[in-house]
Structure 1
Amino acid sequence: MSRASHEGAARGKRVVVAITGATGAAYGVRLLAMLRASGVVTHLVVSRAGWMTLLDETGLDRHALREAADIYHDQNEVGASIASGSFQHDGMVVAPCSMKTLAAVAHGFDDNLIARAASVALKERRKLVLLARETPLTLAHLRNMTLATEMGAVVMPPLPALYAKPDSIEAMIDYTVMRVLDQLGIEPPQTYARWQGLARQ
């Protein structure tokens, strides 16, 4: 029995992962890998622009990414399980989160499955983590972040922690992804450099 078909039995953890068109597709890819390593069932949705960015930044095609998730939903699949509050899961992460998707979440504009699933997470009081990617930020971006936060979302720009002394892009990505797992209450599959305070001189 596959992990996906086993969901209806004794349910383990389930997480919805969305990848949108902002730069940083590697965050979503790495998140899928770490969730699988942690034994979490993943439901994946990718926006049209997300597919374009994914191929450009990582070289991965649609088949490769779909294989990285347990269940894949098309962004236009409005009848998908994750579009309903009766479908239980343990959180949703948009990695990366474009400003268009942020605006849709902030204003309840459920024009595709990503925005709808995010609205469901908010209305059901489930964890919603948005790896918002843009710089500089306009006033509209900042206000949308405020609105999303006031509704219960966690706005978490993927910023490197230089105190961890990362030695590669992969290390910086891993640090952010493991912080995301902390937000979801999921034990990361590997240890990472948590802040221990400044060393005494």
Structure 2
Amino acid sequence: MSLFITFEGGEAAGKSTQIRLLRAALERRGLDCIATREPGGSPAAEAMRAVLLDPDLPLAPEAELLLVFAARADHLAATVLPALDRGVIVLCDRFADSTLAYQGFGVQADARTRTLIDELTARLPRQPDLTFVLNVSPGTAAERLRHRGGTTDRYETRDAAFHARVRAGFLAIAAAHPARCVRIDADAPAEAVHDAILSVVSTRTGHKRG
């Protein structure tokens, strides 16, 4: 069965961990699935990701937004749609909701830019069937980022007010799309978060837990 599942949330929400756990659980049940990400997920989109996340490379807001959608268009064409056509479950770390949360709410885009985001999103050839919005508190996110270490990207270097707006954006998106979005408490331990996610996916796929 084909199913397009996206994972959304702010920095250090645990999306990659939950995708890894869910993929393993689904494969144990004999279901074919792939894990991918945005920006990225195809050779061309990965090259665009490097530009988008480089904190030392200034980007005009309009260029940043259009580059996000350019990467998404190639990712869909090269990776997501072919997999769905084969009946594969696609697990994607970020999708269009992140664009609205970051390039819309985070940067406090004007009405014209918000409209452009909505229009470009509506023109996408496929929307997610199910979205998990991992809601992590600022304190938990900051602690996880400290433990993660390493280099920081364009978005991780933004101030606390920016990340607060992004978090509010994700919560607003989840509230506006209750049929698609499931809000998950991402402050909980990883296994508890996984159990909550797997319970929802089990219902969608018709597989019992266990």
TM-score by length of 2: 0.44
TM-score by length of 1: 0.45
Between Structure 1 and Structure 2, the one with more helix by share is 2
Greater RCO, CA 8 A, separation 6+: 2
